[in-house]
Amino acid sequence: MKLHSKLSVLAASVLLATPMLAMASNPIIKHIYTADPAAIVDDDTVYIYTGHDEAGTDESAYVMDDWHVFSSKDLVNWTDHGEVLSLEDFSWASADAWAGQVIKRDDKYYWYVPVNDDTDGWFGIGVAVSDSPTGPFVDAIGSALITDSMTPNETLDIDPTVFIDDDGQAYLYWGNATDDGIIKVVKLKDNMIETDGDITDIDTDQVPSFTEAPYMHERNGIYYLSYAAGWPENIYYSTADNPMGPFTYQGMILDADDVSSPTSHQSIIEYHDNWYLVYHNADLPDGGEYRRSVAMDRLYYNDDGTIQQVTPTTDGVGVDGLGGEYVLKNRLSDKCLQPLDGATSNGTQIVQHTCDDDDTQHWDLTHTLDDTYQITHQESGKVLDISQGSVANGARAILWANYDGDNQYWQLDSQSDDDEIYDVTNYNSQLLLETADALLDEDANVGQWSNNGGYQQQWWFLRPEATQIEPVSYEGYYLSYRANGVWMESSPSPLDSSQFRIESGLADSSGISFASITRPGYYLRHRGFVLYMEYDNGSDDFDEDATFYRQEGLSDSSAVSYESYNYPGYYIRHQYYQLRVDPESDIDDTSDATFNEISD
């Protein structure tokens, strides 16, 4: 059903859109360019810390000013937690937010990053710390841990990797082959921000053709030192029986001929009894040496502990499933799932209520490798639960703080060809979520019952407040964001790349801003007069670039045009299918700057 913004809306002014089943594929991050992945597993969640490539297609240098972190439980639906660390967080740094790595110790997370050090030579390695894997991170020292003067003319101080052995001893490795540089390693004190003893060399006899990107992991008493080798960069590895070596070269993990990026950077993790190689390529549109993308594939060991060469895939890894923010609407009553009276305390009864676009009806889905879901109430942060973990018919559905119980997980079974309607089965009881007694009443209780095929046991999973923007001159095309900008596309993939929540303007509440419906904190903004979907870094410049005024359509008074807040007289327009901001006087055909707002 296609509804223009001036027509009626569905379910008492709630704009709802079809959900999109996320499918495993590489690259795993598609909305921005990402590089140099550093992956960890913490609390049954994979976190990947990346650099952020922002170089334009006409630039031949790295433009990297910040780092992002992404998380997933199913390796398909990745949550972007935004720009959680930037050059501005290091007062002594001026440029080059290059490849770093995070490690957890004593409930703190330490992020080792190379940056241009204003105080000592070229590169230095800093340390940021946080109480959470997703930040905020702050400079832990106030200066570099490793400086250029500590390794004079011996290596470029970049690409740090950190490893904690079973005995609790931490090690820091880093290096680059510029000017015949080699890998360096030093022990760290327990506080993780001081070195302990002398810096030691790992020479190229131990790591042949070393270029950069050392990474250490251990399995069954074997210590694996992988690294980028040659140019374009392969990934090789050497092994030892202790973290300091000596190391013996073993072979290739990833062949440069199989990867589209000339640079390479890797991490290796175990998750749910399987091993994975996390790396980057340049497979996104307009990708290249300076616009890379993180990918992930399975990694296998031989019986003798050697690693089999990894063949990159486009299929990727993980389990297909839903993810992100949804409204759950009962198929029988057409009412939406929410806590009674919008309460947020433990034990609050879950009910059905008239769909009214209130935040209390918004739920976040987290999908796991076991193909189960946690359904988290967005406003309270508590999860959908069954009271006291009951397995009985009629037990109440409630809100409760997440303690990872089986009764807090759910299975979804599609009941429609378009994957909009689902049975929702409690993992613990194997009973279905339903409106009690098939009632249609306002605030009727929701609980669990054996499957009887009734519509009171089926739920629409719908995106809240989703709007698509259609150029009037290209019916059936929609604005869709990718890493290289915003484009007109007839079949946006994924669908949610073309769905926006129109909010009050970030810089002026009388204007509007276009928020991503699946990536919290992301907005359309113009940069260099080109439109991008980017994370709101909190700056005045960003807020102004992301604010527009709805005006009467330049070519059609029944449609709309979007005037820039900080460039009056400039409008969003499409040119050769890409969206940009130009002065009205430069827009020969004003239909290029005129749009319909459409809700499905």
CATH number at residue 50: 2.115.10.20
pLDDT digits (tens, 9 = 90+) for 26-71: 999 999 999 999 999 999 999 999 999 999 999 999 999 999 999 9
pLDDT (average), residues 19-27: 83
How far out from the chain centre does Cα 404 lie? Answer: 22
Q: Which pair of tokens denotes residue 48? A: 């990947």
Q: CB–CB of 446/436 below 8 Å?
A: yes
- Calculate Rg over the CA atoms of the chain: 26
* Residue 315 maps to a domain: no
Residue 6 has pLDDT above 70, yes or no: no
- Do 50 and 185 belong to one domain? yes
Catalytic site positions:
36, 212
* Residue 6 maps to a domain: no
pLDDT digits (tens, 9 = 90+) for 337-377: 999 999 999 999 999 999 997 899 999 999 999 999 999 99
- Do 205 and 222 belong to one domain? yes
pLDDT digits (tens, 9 = 90+) for 409-467: 999 999 988 778 999 999 999 999 999 999 999 999 999 999 999 999 999 999 887 89
* Residue 5 maps to a domain: no
- Do 447 and 486 belong to one domain? no
Residue 396 has pLDDT above 50, yes or no: yes
Which of 401, 433, 464 terminates a domain? The answer is: 464
Domain that holds residue 163: 33-299
**Rounded CA separation 148/125 (Å):** 9
Residue 310 gets which letter from DSSP? Answer: P
How many domains does the chain fold into?
Answer: 3
pLDDT (average), residues 520-540: 95
Strand order of the sheet with strand 267-271? 267-271, 274-281, 293-299
* Residue 28 maps to a domain: no
* Residue 277 maps to a domain: yes
- Do 447 and 473 belong to one domain? no
Which residues on neighbouring strands pair with residue 222, listed in sequence order?
Answer: 219
- Do 41 and 95 belong to one domain? yes
Nearest Cα to Cα of residue 498 among 533, 529, 474: 533
* Residue 284 maps to a domain: yes
Number of H helices, E strands in the chain: 1, 46
* Residue 143 maps to a domain: yes
Residue 249 gets which letter from DSSP? Answer: E
Confidence of residue 20 (pLDDT cuts 50, 70, 90): low
Which residues on neighbouring strands pair with residue 232, listed in sequence order?
Answer: none
Percent of the chain exceeding pLDDT 70 equals: 96
pLDDT (average), residues 320-343: 96
Peptide bond between residue 246 and the one before it cis (omega within 30 degrees of 0): yes
Helix (H, G, I), strand (E, B) or coil at 89: helix
Task: Specify the range with the lowest mean pLDDT, choosing from 43-52, 274-283, 512-521.
Answer: 512-521
- Do 210 and 119 belong to one domain? yes
Which of 440, 464, 488 terminates a domain? The answer is: 464
